[in-house]
Amino acid sequence: MNTLYVIKIGGNIIDDETRLSSFLRSFASIEGKKILVHGGGKLAAKLAAALGIEQQMVDGRRVTDTETLRMVTMVYAGDINKNIVAQLQANGCNAIGLSGADGNLIRAHKRIHPTIDYGFVGDIDSVNAGLLHNLLDNNLTVVAAPITHDGKGRLLNTNADTIAQEMAKALSNLYQVQLIYSFEKNGVLLDVNDEHSVIPEINAAYYQELKRKQLIFAGMLPKLDNAFAALQNGVNKVIIGKAEQLDQLIAGKAGTTIKYE
* Interaction mask 207-236, a second copy, x per CB under 8 A: ------------------------------
Query: What region does 10 belong to: left with phi over 0, alpha with psi -120 to 50, or beta?
Result: beta
- The C-alpha atoms of residue 14 and residue 1 are separated, in whole angstroms, by 32
Q: How far apart are CA 114 and CA 239, in angstroms?
A: 34
Nearer to a second copy, 11 or 187 (CB): 11
- Nearer to a second copy by Cβ, of 70 and 185: the residue is 70
- Which has the closest alpha carbon to 10: 258, 259, 243, 256? 243
For residue 78, state whether it binds a second copy (rule: CB under 8 A).
yes
Residue 56 binds a second copy (CB under 8 A): no
Binder of a second copy out of 1, 51, 205, 251 (CB under 8 A): 51
32 binds a second copy (CB under 8 A): no
List the interface residues with a second copy, window 145-204 (CB under 8 A): 147, 149, 151-155
* Binding-site member from 55, 94, 126, 208 for a second copy (CB under 8 A): 94
Which residues lie below 8 Å from residue 19, measured CB to CB, with a gap of 6+? 13, 243, 244
Site for a second copy (CB under 8 A): which residue of 18, 138, 193, 214? 138
Q: With CB under 8 A as the contact rule, which of the stretches 84-92, 164-172, 224-232, 237-245 interacts with a second copy?
A: 84-92
